[in-house]
Chains A and B, each alone.
Chain A
Amino acid sequence: MKLKGVKILSALLGLSMIMGTMGCAAGTSNKPQPANEASSEKPAPSKDSAAKEQVTLNFWHIWGAETDASYAAVKKVIADFEAEYPHIKIKEDTTENEAYKTKIKASAAANELPDVFSSWGGGFSKPFIEADRVLAIDDYLNDGTKDKLVGGALANVTYDGKVYGMTFGLSCGALFVNKELFEANNIKIPETYAELIDAVKAFKAAGITPMTLSGKDVWTIAMYFDAMALKAAGNDKIVSTLTKQGSFKDPEFLSAASKFAELVSLGAFPEGAAGLSKDESDLPFLQGKIPMLFNGSWTAGSVYREDSLVKDKIIPVGFPVFEDGKGTKNQFTGGAVDAIMVNANTKYKEEAVLFQKYFCENMARETYLAGAYLPAWKVEVDESNINPVTVALAKLTSESESFTLWWDTLLEGQDTQVYLNTLQELLLGGVTPEQFVDRLQTIYE
């Protein structure tokens, strides 16, 4: 009796373990089927849809908090889609940004992804694509979709020449400056690195901390350094070096690191910044006490937050150019990174891709109107009601030559950690600029 029980148990155990390991092995690779239907199909609701099979698409994303500028946009676009295609129902599930990354990775590993999900281009999604979890959508793009996109909108979701995702909005790094503080202290808004140093020194002399970042939320340091490396080396060199066709030991990277270390040693950042969270370090900027913040274009939203004291005082400018650098003033960090992807194993490929395209095209407009992103699609909108900082950002980047993806997005997981950890050390003065580039070079190993 007892023995039998044990046997059954161990059999069960063995079985589920085999199933377990199988689940983690590579999934079946699916070739996308040509999509004549989806592209030629015009929405013809009510009558037609009765004949169509009712489809429910599971859609996971990260815009579930009302504080998010994109929140209302997502709600609207999904409602519009369901009205236009009554046979398709979208079942949303939202998760907080950081937790979502864990969730999506675990779900990709266990082959439990939903039909459609939001993700990030570059290094983040690369392992999913290599494991054949994501549908390549090239065959669905020849219906004029490509012409509606702005240049480079698909660059970060293209892997090995194939497009695996769709983007809707563009984010870019910018130096947000409090023009009132600059005027009050009679300081020129810097356009070159020398002017930046002058401004930092002048503010210090006036007893004002010039810039802010959070050493604990390490990506905020990377915001600065990504831009500085870009100004030193230029877009092409950054891309080739990060894709491991170059060397971090080239003088441009040392120059960027030295300049960053110079800013640190001049006291450009707040006391104890290494231990502050982004909420803490941003606050003095939003209270008008710190004149400069280099961060993503989403900062526009914070500037017009209810409790912000700097509304209408902030203008975005590019990072000051380096006199000895190769990056021009029209090269920016950032790009179209937030992406919508379709599960390679979804039952409803046509419907999922249809939704993916509809969602992105309309989100491009709605999130721009909401001041959350710059549009990655060509949109015509009335700009008078948009967040003025967002409009200024659109103007600033209208002549852009290139967007260089943030390193922590472009690089893959492990390399990203090497970069961020070493950068934190540079901020702390734990490594010299020389040691910094040496350690970066280890990602080539």
Chain B
Amino acid sequence: MNNIVKNITTSHKSTIAAPKRSLGSWIMYALLFGWAGIQIFPIYWLMTFSLKSNSEIFGGNPLGLPKVWMWVNYSKALVTGKVGLYFINSIIVTGATIFITAIAALMATYALTRMNFKLRKPLTTFYVLGLTVPIHSALLPVFVMLRNLRMTNSYQALILPYVAFAIPMAFMIFSGFMASLPRELEEAACLDGCSIYGVFFRIIAPLMKPAVATVSIFTFLQAWNELMFAVVFISDTKYKTLTVGIQSLAGQYTIDWGAIGAGLVVATIPTLLVYIFMSKKVQDSLVAGAVKG
């Protein structure tokens, strides 16, 4: 079984790739690596930024390695930015957001793209509507809503809005992927006596893995980096998130950019790890597809 899979993938690769050792492929690789150089630059820059003083960042040395390595920026970020505590809060909030978003949106997508009922079309628009709302204008209404539900100063105060703003995005992506799943699978399962719930959880959900991984990455980015809701809805240190902690390093008239950079490095590493992990799932899905398809 594994061998077959391997065969399919490797042969597939050699076919589709541009012919090797030709001039064209040299140019292609040169361009790819050139672009990679540009794309990798921001992370190098963030790292050096986090180790500099303001005068190096804004003065003569904006791009090079630090002249004086300001490791103290990290202790500032970790101690005064309370990055440790806030880090855990961010993980709780982001984790819950991804989990709820993925399940709720996947279920909704299934009903809205596969099942038949009268309100399907208007409901689809209803789901997409969330994509269009400017987050700043939603601030006060959502705040009032949370207050009336007695929910400010809690993890839910962030999780619910984050989920709500992620569901439309997730729904769009899921429906794009679900469109390419053949219905035959479900029909076969149905004949085997599987219930609609069984079809969804046992057949559809596993097949949607690459989409779920993609949605997880995007939801992670949204929730992990969100700032405005986190500032306004939370007034208790217990529930504050990482971005708020990093922002609090900025003073009224002076901003210690190096310390902020250090906080951002700490905040970016998990993002990078999550991305590498999840994008591997996306890549591996080819193998999964080969087995099933």
Q: What is A's interface to B at a CB cutoff of 8 Å?
A: 16, 19-20, 23-24, 58, 60, 62-68, 70-71, 93-97, 99, 102-103, 106-107, 109-110, 112, 114, 279-280, 283, 286-287, 296, 298-299, 301-302, 305-309
Contacts and interface: CB of A to CB of B under 8 A. Distances in A.
A409 to B, nearest CB: 14
Main secondary structure of the interface of B (DSSP, over half): helix
Interface of B: 53-56, 58-59, 76, 80, 139-141, 143-145, 147-149, 152, 227-228, 231-232, 235-237, 244, 247-257, 259
Given A23-B147, A58-B235, A287-B59, 16 more contacts: A16-B145, A16-B148, A20-B144, A20-B148, A60-B235, A66-B256, A68-B252, A71-B251, A93-B235, A93-B237, A96-B248, A97-B250, A103-B232, A298-B253, A305-B54, A308-B55
Contacts of A109: 140, 143
Contacts of B147: 23, 110, 112
B59 A283 contact: yes
11 contacts: A16-B148, A20-B148, A24-B144, A65-B80, A66-B249, A67-B254, A68-B251, A68-B254, A95-B244, A96-B247, A97-B252
A64 B249 CA distance: 8
A236 B259 CA distance: 44
A66 B231 contact: no
Contacts of B149: 16
Contact of A65 (B53, B143, B249): B249
B55 A283 contact: yes
Contacts of A93: 235-237
Contacts of A306: 53
Given A97-B252, A110-B144, A283-B59, A102 B232 contact: yes
Contacts of A94: 248
A95 B231 contact: yes
A112 B152 contact: yes
A424 to B, nearest CB: 20
B228 A102 contact: yes
Contact of A20 (B139, B141, B247, B253): B141
B2 to A, nearest CB: 48
A103 B231 contact: yes
Contacts of A71: 251
A296 B253 contact: yes
Contacts of B58: 279-280, 283
B256 A67 contact: yes
B251 A287 contact: no
B252 A298 contact: yes
A296 B231 CA distance: 27
